[in-house]
Amino acid sequence: MGLLDGQVAAITFGSRSIGRGVAEAFLAEGASVVVNGRSADKGKAAVAEMVASGAGDRVHFIQGDASVQGDVEGVINGAVERFGRLDIAVLNQGGLKDTAPVASMTNEEWDFELNLNLTSIFWGMRAALQHLIPQESGRIINMSSLEGKRGTPGLPGYVAAKHGMIGLTKACAHEVGTKGIAVNAICPGLVITDLFKHTTEVLGLADLDAFGGPSGQRLGDPAPSHR
């Protein structure tokens, strides 16, 4: 028997990188999983690979953009529609497009990063709680970042959003902890994802190891990141 037998999880950005690692780990422990992503082709291909690896009909893909409220709510509600319940919501969405130091950052850049990295997390948490509170059980896991604990120059919007996510997580945890619901945030280390590679390009870092962290720090692989 797996640790998650009979449980249902919704995972945003769950068709690639860290989200896919989490999805595969949950499937291995017996959960049914709904994942979403922007690309229908890539999402369906990822699900086909998970099915071929033994997931069977316990995995389902819903196309959606994590910067759109209805799409974030759609993967949460879609898990209930597909499998009849929700036990775990992993809000893994996040990223940046263009960024700049505070002095030159535009309103559009700021709004984009706060919307994708913080407001969309709020949407997902609120949607999940509509299902978890009545059943008085469940778990919400928010994927923050090292930037939720530090302040890398050149990433003000992303840093502010990730700090805000941790604060939101703490507030919600106190609100629903007595209702049988756990709310936590994870701050992964330096994991080589598409976002990480894009960030090093934006900051002009030719060497991935120059991004920061303790000397000799090992960069992570998304596949085992669920551990």
Dig out the tokens for 111 from the structure.
């709004």
Respond yes or no: is residue 158 known to be catalytic: yes
Instruction: Name the active-site residue from 61, 83, 123, 158.
Output: 158
What is the C-alpha separation between 113 and 94, in angstroms, rounded?
Answer: 8
Q: Which residues are catalytic?
A: 158
